Copies of this chain bind each other. A is one copy, B any other.
Amino acid sequence: MIRLAPIAANLPATVPFVGPETLERQAGRPFAARLGANENGFGPSPRAVAAMQAAAGEVWKYGDPTSHDLTHVLAAHHGVRPENIVVGEGIDGLLGLLVRLLIAPGDAVVTSDGAYPTFNFHVTGFGGVLHKVAYRDDAEDPQALLDRARQVGARLVYLANPDNPMGSWHDGHAIEEMLDGLAEGALLVLDEAYAEFAPAGTIPSIAPDDPRVIRMRTFSKAYGMAGARIGYAIGHPGLIAAFDRVRNHFGVNRIGQAGVLAALTDGDWLARTVARVAAARDRIGAIAADNGMAALPSATNFVALDTGRDGAFARRLVDALAADGVFIRMPGVAPLNRCIRISCAPDAELDLLAAALPSALRSIGDRDEPAADARL
């Protein structure tokens, strides 16, 4: 039969990526509130929608494989050169390419236990060896990451600022200090997917050509365009150019390219989204308080709510809400998994959350039974 190459043969046959559509099919009905995937229900700029609609008839053409116009606009947007930017199929796709470029089988990579699973998927997928440090006070711990990286001779160190799944963040100066403490030969993967939501001072001041770090950005979050699959990386021109050696050159879809170019012209919409998200964070905090849970501070478009219990309890709560039509997710490992994670969304969806949460909590009560029983 079919014999896979050694790395692929040793990978798990099952994967942790379960989308809301799969859960909906299992439940036999769509979710009424989609609050689990850190999508942005405030949606894309109307200019982006119009540009994508106009581009639909031109979809017979491949997209520009260099994403020339987008790269140049992004360079101006960030005050860097086009040579500092590579556009790809979302941060997920770019993380995979980055790992492929830098990690040989057996190479060490450091991340936090509970941080972005897709990064880990790629590291394992290319034969890298993951080393994980614990969160500290529900935030990623730069010093622990640095120490472990030095200890294991890591080639890559992953940190998201602001963080997913906890929503916590570090001051930009802390990231700059982290860079200064990075061992020779290690590259910091700074995932800034949620950067636009963060308070002033969160984004570090990093020279565009700094070879110690690559930054990941996306249109999936603040720009409300997760389905367009456009992300980009900012880094040293030598590293950025290396992506051309392995990337799927015609892989970025043309309609998405047109959409994000238009989105970048609509700063007002972005500012309005950021304000709406901030208001939604406050409302999620109030809903949490009404239900005896504490909202963790968040610099993102989601809020982690501390159930005050353990992962089994949080899992039952996630399942109970799903049974009531409300899709949320939760961190994957202890102690983060005492929390549930709720994406910011328009009031209509948060109304459903507010309505569903008390009965969901009642239904799972103080008992230790599995969720299947609790739903009876």
Q: Chain A residues in contact with chain B, CB under 8 A?
A: 1-8, 11-15, 17, 19, 21-22, 25, 34, 37, 39-44, 48-49, 52-53, 55-66, 68, 89-90, 92-93, 96, 100-104, 107, 118, 125, 155, 185, 187, 211, 220, 224-229, 236, 238-239, 241-242, 244-246, 248-256, 259
Contacts and interface: CB of A to CB of B under 8 A. Distances in A.
Given A227-B63, A228-B253, A25 B248 contact: no
Contacts of A13: 241-242, 244-245
Contacts of A244: 13-15
A256 B256 CA distance: 10
A225 B62 CA distance: 8
Q: Which 10 A-B pairs have the closest CB atoms?
A: A227-B254, A17-B249, A21-B64, A52-B56, A11-B245, A5-B104, A59-B227, A60-B224, A53-B53, A229-B253
Nearest to A11: B245
Contact of A104 (B6, B53, B211): B6
Contacts of A100: 5, 8
Given A44-B59, A255-B255, 16 more contacts: A2-B239, A5-B101, A5-B104, A15-B244, A17-B65, A19-B64, A43-B59, A43-B60, A49-B59, A56-B255, A59-B225, A60-B226, A61-B227, A63-B229, A89-B89, A227-B255
Nearest to A245: B11
Nearest to A107: B5
A86 to B, nearest CB: 13
A251 B227 contact: no
A84 to B, nearest CB: 13
A255 to B, nearest CB: 5
A80 to B, nearest CB: 17
23 contacts: A1-B238, A2-B211, A2-B238, A2-B239, A8-B101, A19-B66, A21-B65, A21-B68, A39-B61, A43-B60, A52-B56, A59-B226, A59-B227, A60-B226, A60-B227, A62-B220, A63-B227, A89-B248, A90-B250, A90-B251, A92-B250, A96-B248, A253-B256
Given A228-B253, A256-B255, A60 B89 contact: no
A369 B201 CA distance: 60
